Chain A
Amino acid sequence: ELKVEQNPLFLSMQEGKNYTIYCNYSTTSDRLYWYRQDPGKSLESLFVLLSNGAVKQEGRLMASLDTKARLSTLHITAAVHDLSATYFCAVEDTVDSNYQLIWGAGTKLIIKP
């Protein structure tokens, strides 16, 4: 059974700082997604990572995937207040459940001005 763990679950940081959110998963998968959710809103797709060593960047966010370590990271560079949100990783289960997404618990990120 595929399990996905995110950490930290909560992160409070100052503007201008760098930080990394980690997403570990337990079995082989071909796809990993990062989503952002603002309070009371739905999910916004940030990145989809498809292969080992994949790195994608959008603004101050950069996501990477190491399939051998079963680890993805979401790195925030020089954080700004607008990046405050909850970030979810989701891993596609290609073994047990016909490509269902297995979700991490989410990381609530608060960036203080």
Chain B
Amino acid sequence: GAVVSQHPSRVICKSGTSVKIECRSLDFQATTMFWYRQFPKQSLMLMATSNEGSKATYEQGVEKDKFLINHASLTLSTLTVTSAHPEDSSFYICSATAGGSHDTQYFGPGTRLTVL
């Protein structure tokens, strides 16, 4: 149980384009989903927390207009990187909990974004 999927696993795009990453909880309803990014050889950096049906809460320094998060259902959250630039290249990982933010997070497999 507690499986989280992400799609796509890898994406390469041109600078200036937008990329959408999907995060799905496959066998449970995720009341809360988290989006992280990870640079090579570094730890995870929380970008935002989203609860189903409400606006995402972004961490300080994360541009909400650039990283659009939609948590439209209890099993799906999307992260859209708008007008991507090479510095947005990173490993993006989502996680989900069934019991709100105070619960074990189950992580998706991650999405490797490369912006040329």
Contact = CB atoms under 8 A, between A and B. Distances in A.
Interface stretch (A11-19, A52-60, A92-100): A92-100
A108 B109 CA distance: 19
Interface string A69-91: 00000000000000000001000
Main secondary structure of the interface of A (DSSP, over half): strand
Q: Which DSSP category, helix, strand, loop or mixed, fits chain B's interface?
A: loop
B81 interface: no
A13 B105 CA distance: 30
Interface string B83-116: 0000000000101000011101111111010000
Nearest to A35: B107
Given A42-B109, A100-B49, A106 B104 contact: no
B44 A45 contact: no
A11 B105 CA distance: 26
B109 A41 contact: yes
Contacts of A22: none
Interface residues of A, number: 20
Contact of A100 (B42, B43, B101, B110): B101
B74 interface: no
Contact of A103 (B44, B106, B108): B44
Contacts of A98: 49, 101
A101 to B, nearest CB: 7
A103 B104 contact: no
10 contacts: A42-B108, A42-B110, A43-B95, A44-B107, A45-B106, A48-B104, A88-B43, A99-B102, A103-B43, A103-B44
